[in-house]
């Protein structure tokens, strides 16, 4: 059975991984899960999660030539925590739509893992007037990570402001 997570469910999963491991440091999480990271020249691929059945060992292969290697590792951790029971080779041969959905879920997991709400909240005094590009540079993450988190954060802030305005109008 394939579990299709909502964005909120993925966020909760990332938060539970952080809470369980006591960190959002991807290298420490890999170490605690006994997942080895191998940096290779993977050609067009950014990374992949591999399971060796004979040793029951997980490996994350990442392209050594990437700028945002930490994001790729976090993305592969997303596959580990969300999809490790799936045979992804069968999935990718059966349905591009499902494959794309699983990739999107791993992206969201990675985003929530490496750029938590708390990290964003703590940095808010410094980044309040930043563009999305500046936020990405500040946190050393891909632009789409900053865009996703900033829009998510702004939506939540806008909802709080609107709620406050409505409550004030009702009072």
Note whether 45 and 52 are within 8 A (CB). Answer: no
Tell me if 37 sits within 8 A of 74, measured CB to CB: no
Q: What is the Cα–Cα distance from 36 to 33, expressed in whole angstroms?
A: 9
Q: Which of 67, 76, 103, 133 is catalytic?
A: 76
Buried b (16+ CB within 10 A) or exposed e, 138-157: ebebbeebbebbbebbeeee
**C-alpha span between 80 and 45 (Å, rounded):** 17
Long-range contacts formed by 150-158: CB under 8 A, 24+ apart: 150/120, 153/117, 153/120
Active site residue 76: yes
Q: How far apart are CA 24 and CA 70, in angstroms?
A: 11
Report, as residue numbers or ranges, the catalytic residues: 76
């Amino acid at each position: 059975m394939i579990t299709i997570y909502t964005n909120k469910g993925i966020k909760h999963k990332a938060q539970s991984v952080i809470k369980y491991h006591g960190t959002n440091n991807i290298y420490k999480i890999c170490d605690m899960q006994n997942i080895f990271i191998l940096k290779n020249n993977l050609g067009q691929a950014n990374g992949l999660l591999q399971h060796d059945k004979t040793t029951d060992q997980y490996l994350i292969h990442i392209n050594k030539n990437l700028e945002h290697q930490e994001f790729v590792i976090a993305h592969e951790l997303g596959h580990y925590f969300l999809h490790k029971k799936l045979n992804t080779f069968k999935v990718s041969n059966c349905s591009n739509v499902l494959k794309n959905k699983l990739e999107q879920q791993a992206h969201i997991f990675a985003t929530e893992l490496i750029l938590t709400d708390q990290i964003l909240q703590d940095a808010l005094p410094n980044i309040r007037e930043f563009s999305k590009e500046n936020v990405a540079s500040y946190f050393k993450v891909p632009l789409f990570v900053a865009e996703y988190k900033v829009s998510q954060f702004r939506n939540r802030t806008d909802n709080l402001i609107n709620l406050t305005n409505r409550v004030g109008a009702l009072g």
